Structures are given as structure tokens and as C-alpha cells.
Amino acid sequence: MIQIAPSILSANFAKLAAEVKEVEEAGASVIHVDVMDGHFVPNITMGPIVVEALRPETTLPLDVHLMIENPDAYIEQFAKAGADWISVHVEACRHLHRTIQLIRSFGVKPGVVLNPHTPIESIQHILEDIDFVLFMTVNPGFGGQKFISSVVQKVESLSKIIEERGLNIAIEIDGGINAETIVPCVKAGATIFVAGSAIYNKEDRALALKEIKDAGEA
């Protein structure tokens, strides 16, 4: 089963609730919320107040992707605002195990994110503690970038490890996903796909979402 997680980064922020409803009705499984601080990544987006405002507008889980320095300082706020999943970059966490426990302590599903160049060895010893791994297939910071295909090898390797160790971890992919790039990622074992520009920059969002999902399930 393929889950599509539209990223509201490419939505119209002036009518965010309607933008979220539109993809919910079109069959989205999760809403992906990109949080950027202008330090960890060269862009600034949204904080907990946006999550709080969106929470009553959808029944879908809110997947909060933290691209920020010192995520520990903000996890409680995002959890209380209504985040269902929170993922943190391994590159931004000095004490990753502590951060993951902190996320879980609020009843939120924890995930770790790897930048395109970060090896999967960096998360070998945290796999038992997390619910999902998010692979970046672009350099984080902006929507609409080109898919970096070399990441697919890392996805394959992690899928093998997950299977060998009998772990219950989902693999999510973020960056440059469309009806073509989803295909090798599904083959490699991923099941959750973030798509920003490939959905929100299209006139017919429902059709765009369906095409991506169908391509992934074919």
C-alpha cells in the first residue's frame, strides 16, 4: 500500500485549510508539514501555530518534518499543537536517542531524516526506537528540486536491514517525487511519498495525486 503525503510547502498559504481539504478528498493519506528555520536550511517556513491552525481542518495525520537546529527545544510545542508524526534530521541532533524519546514521550510517532549524502550507518543503532525513516531525495530547503537518484541505493540497503532484523519501520521519501521517480523508490521498499510541487503546482490536484499513486501501485 502506497501512502501519498502532499507537502503544503507548495500550497497557497492564504487558503491553507482549503488546500489541505482538497488533497484529503483526493485520497491523500498524510499531510506533510515542512518546518524550516533559516539556519539548518536556507529558508524559513512555518512553526507550531500553523500546525495548531490546521489540526481541526483535517482528520489526516500531520507529518511534521523539522528542518531546524536544536529540535529538542520545539518538540513539545509541535506535539501540543497537534503533530502526529515528528521527524528530525540526524545531522541536526547531537543526542538523537534522547530526541527520539522526547518525541515519543508526547505520544507522537518519531522518525529520523537523512540528507542525500548521509549514510544509513548513522541510524543503525536507533532503528529499534523509531517508527519511520525519511530519506531526502533533494537537499532540504525548497520545493520543486530535481530528484537525486543515487539515494535509491540507500533505500534498498535499509529495506534489507529492516527485513533481516524483523523491524517494523516505514520508509518515507521526500523530494522530487512524481509519477516517474516514485517507481524506483517503491521497488526499493519505500511506502510513504511526500509530493509538493508535483501536486500543488498542478491545476488538477486530484488527478496529479492519483497519477502518482497509480504509478507507485502499478
Q: Residues marked as binding?
A: 7, 32, 34, 65, 141-144, 174-176, 196-197
The answer to the question of residue 213 lying near ligand DX5 (CB under 6 A) is no
Q: To the nearest whole angstrom, how small is the minimum distance from the Cβ of residue 7 to ligand DX5?
A: 3
Q: Which of 171, 173, 162 is nearest to 195 (CA)?
A: 173
**34 a catalytic residue:** yes
67 contacts 140 by C-beta, under 8 angstroms: yes
Residue from 22, 65, 75, 169 in contact with ligand DX5 (CB under 6 A)? 65
Q: Which of residues 65 and 205 has its CB atom nearest to Zn ion in the complex?
A: 65
Cα separation, 90 vs 73, in Å, equals 16
Q: Compose the 143-182 pattern: x for residues touching Zn ion by CB under 5 A, - for all others.
A: -------------------------------x--------
Q: Which of residues 41-80 bind Zn ion (CB under 5 A)?
A: 65
Cα separation, 216 vs 187, in Å, equals 9
Residue nearest to ligand DX5 (CB): 196
Cα separation, 34 vs 51, in Å, equals 10
Binding site for a divalent metal cation: residue ranges?
32, 34, 65, 174
Question: Concatenated DSSP letters for 3-30?
Answer: EEEEBGGGS-GGGHHHHHHHHHHTT-S-
Residue 133 binding: pick among ligand DX5, Zn ion, none (C-beta 5-8 Å cut-off by kind):
none
Helices 16-25 and 205-217 sit at what angle, rounded to 10 degrees?
A: 40
Residue from 19, 34, 63, 172 in contact with Zn ion (CB under 5 A)? 34
